[in-house]
Amino acid sequence: MTEREWRQSADAFPIEYEDIREAHRILAGRDPWKGITVRREHVRRQLEHELMGKLVNLRQAYVADWNRPKRLAEVVRRTRAGFLTMLRAVLRLAGRTPPAASPAVVRDAGALIGFAPDGLTEPVAYLEAVTRTAEYVNRMERNPS
């Protein structure tokens, strides 16, 4: 990205920007974050969009492969990293600092959102966690903090 594109894209990639901001370290030169603001409503909107898209895709996979547990397990494995990114974003929106370790992210998000953090390798539990997360984020629109 050019510097101009970088500065003008915070509304297009708010979740990614917040992940990068949280993990970045300046090794040399100036801070690329100076003057860049990520708005809460942009994060919430992208999060809702991503979660609903993931939910539709998971439900399609579940219907198509309900009798093929290995295929469903593969869908969960392939989409897990993206879901963890979304859970970190939910924690940030709720005013919490996401832990560094993935199991702690799932534990904290599960406690906040209301899903069991254990067993997310199982397709049904994973689908339930994504569903509850999408519902939680949707409620955030009506009840902003």
Q: Is residue 3 part of a domain?
A: no
Q: Is residue 1 part of a domain?
A: no
CA 97 to chain centre: 14
Instruction: Residue 71: give the domain boundaries.
Output: 41-142
CB 76 within 8 A of CB 120: yes
> What pTM was estimated for this model as a whole?
0.87
Q: Is residue 2 part of a domain?
A: no
Q: Is residue 60 part of a domain?
A: yes
- Each residue's pLDDT tens digit in the chain (145 positions)? 888 898 899 999 999 999 998 888 889 988 888 889 999 999 999 999 999 999 999 999 999 988 898 998 899 999 999 999 999 999 999 999 999 999 999 999 999 999 999 988 888 899 999 999 999 999 987 665 5
Q: Is residue 50 part of a domain?
A: yes
Domain count within the chain = 1
For residues 18, 12, 115, 58, the Cα torsion angle rounded to the nearest 10 degrees is -140
HSE, CB side, 13 Å, CA atoms: give it for residue 125: 13
Q: How many CB atoms within 10 Å of residue 90?
A: 24
Q: Is residue 12 part of a domain?
A: no
Q: Is residue 101 part of a domain?
A: yes
Q: Is residue 118 part of a domain?
A: yes
